[in-house]
Amino acid sequence: MTTSVNETESAKVQTPVKAGTDHQTKGDRFTSFDPADFTVPHAKDEDWRFTPLRRLNGLHDGTAGEGQRANVGVHLPEGSEGIETSELPADSDKLGRAGAPVDYAAAYAWAHTSVADYVKVTKNTAVEDAIVITVTGAGEGKTSFGTLVVELEQHAEATVIVRYEGSGSHSDNVEFIVGDGAKLTTVVVEDWADDAVHLSNSHIQVGRDATVRHTYACFGGSVVRAVPHVRYTDQGGDAELLGVYFADANQYFEQRLLVDHSVRNCRSNVLYKGALQGPQGGETERVRDARTAWIGDVLIRPDATGTDTYEKNNNLLLTSGARADSVPNLEIQTGEIIGAGHAATVGRFDDEQMFYLQSRGIPESVAKMLIVRGFFTDVIKRIPLEDLREQLESKIEQELEHTVL
């Protein structure tokens, strides 16, 4: 499949434009399934200026080689009906419907994936327990590519967990297609080994009166870069994007979001929270500082009247030297909206919270631990799955065990 596709195409056809075109919005960026249509990313490119390109093991410039097919396992709830799973050839018309790659790395991953993994929940089916999709790295020093499509037909309901684990370098394209009136709760967990590198390009297509609750959790890996795009095909769509991440020394995490409001009366809410620590005192000079980058773009087009949107990113620096870049962007092309706003913070502990806890006899180190736990609670409590909430809380506890506050 080599035809270029516009990721913001909806009921009203819009034409994609080349990068640098006058009056271009971020929603109009050029897209294609062919890596030859893109230039190789450079450090001065706006979309890659934070990313440590030298640590990507060639996933961004084609030097990673052919690689191999990703190891993907799909676990379905016992006794569930109305769920179809299959492997699709790269030229299947079921692929690429939610959007096409927006950069060389994603197009290269697409071109080197011969088989895609496809999961569909059929019309009017409600799946009570979670569908779990596990993507395992090819192994240390090895490269893998993948394409994953999750589709909910009209008025279907399901929870889908996508878990990444193992070692190696992995690049993939992921599509979530949510039909009219459907309800999707999806959780993406990045739990890689310390050596892993992951580049992910994902598209979330929200149908009429459909609801999406998307949670992203990143704890493992050397370099992890996620690029999710949300677009609406009709009125009444509701998308909530939540995220938690905890970066240690030698880790770089980047999330680069785009929520494209192109139709009327849709809603979006974005809340990401991250903590950074490392290196700790006594570690060698060769250890890299923990670093994250969060870029949140919300576009409200002229026809998207009645839009209600808000995005927020908070970052907590636990050690000196750790760095978090937070860049919320809001582009509004119509004044006939319900509301729109954004906020971002990067800082250390709140002095008032510390004073309150210490004034009640709580030691400083314990007080800091409580603040970190509470910092993430606002996101974790919104996840509807109790087991998953407990797993994420456990991961945070594990991170805190190695924290010197």
pLDDT tens by residue, 11-42: 334 455 454 444 578 888 899 999 999 999 99
Q: Judge whether 248 and 278 are in contact, CB under 8 Å.
A: yes
In the chain, helix, strand, coil percent, each to 5? Answer: 15, 40, 45
- pLDDT interval class at 2 (50, 70, 90): very low
Q: Judge whether 27 and 260 are in contact, CB under 8 Å.
A: yes
Q: Extract the tokens encoding 123.
A: 């019309």
Q: How many residues does the chain have?
A: 405
For the segment 170-182, what is each residue's pLDDT rounded down to a tens digit?
Answer: 999 999 999 999 9
Peptide bond into 279 cis (omega under 30): yes
For the ranges 113-122, 272-281, 283-292, the one whose mean pLDDT is highest: 113-122
* Cα 109 to Cα 134: distance, rounded to the nearest angstrom: 18
Q: Judge whether 268 and 296 are in contact, CB under 8 Å.
A: no
Closest of 267, 352, 277, 347 to residue 304, by C-alpha: 267
- pLDDT interval class at 404 (50, 70, 90): low
* pTM exceeds 0.85: yes
Q: Where are the beta strands (DSSP E) in 318-385?
A: 323-332, 339-347
Q: Give 151's contacts (C-beta < 8 A, 6+ positions apart).
A: 94, 118, 119, 120, 121, 175, 176, 177, 179
Q: Give 356's contacts (C-beta < 8 A, 6+ positions apart).
A: none
Q: Judge whether 152 and 124 are in contact, CB under 8 Å.
A: no
Which residue, chain included where needed, has tokens 């096409």?
A: 100
